[in-house]
């Protein structure tokens, strides 16, 4: 901050920190980026915990599994209906021959 205010040069700041001028500028850039990032609006409320995240992931897996099961059951019902119709046709054809 002293460098930014003109109270110290970058070379002096680097010496105080015990780093090269190039490293000082790299650190300064990171610090300024972090300050600007801190000004961005964040999501309201508490951050999601890993437990909540794990529960949500598990819930999504269960929902996906139930959707697959539902699709499979619907296809089975369609096949049973087709088989029933074929059986009725076969019975009707058998009755006509008699």
d(CA 1, CA 90): 91
| The two structure tokens encoding residue 73 | 């059951």
d(CA 59, CA 64): 9
Per-residue pLDDT of 18-27, as tens digits, reads 999 999 999 9
Mean pLDDT lowest for which of 46-50, 79-83, 84-88, 91-95? 46-50
d(CA 20, CA 14): 6
* pLDDT band of 95, cuts 50, 70, 90: confident
d(CA 19, CA 12): 10
- Give the mean model confidence (pLDDT) for residues 14-19: 94
Per-residue pLDDT of 29-78, as tens digits, reads 999 999 888 888 877 887 777 888 888 899 999 999 999 999 999 999 99
Q: Provide the pLDDT for residue 98.
A: 61
Q: Provide the pLDDT for residue 75.
A: 96
Q: Provide the pLDDT for residue 22.
A: 95
Region of 8 on the Ramachandran plot (φ > 0 left; ψ -120 to 50 alpha; else beta): beta
């Amino acid at each position: 901050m002293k460098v930014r205010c003109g109270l110290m040069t970058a070379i002096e700041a680097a010496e105080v920190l015990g780093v090269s001028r190039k490293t000082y500028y790299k650190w300064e850039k990171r610090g300024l980026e972090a300050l600007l990032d801190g000004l961005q609006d964040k999501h309201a409320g508490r951050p999601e915990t890993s437990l909540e995240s794990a529960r949500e992931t598990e819930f999504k897996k269960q929902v996906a599994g139930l959707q697959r099961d539902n699709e499979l059951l619907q296809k089975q019902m369609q096949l049973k209906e087709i088989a029933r119709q074929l059986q009725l046709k076969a019975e009707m054809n058998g009755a006509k021959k008699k």
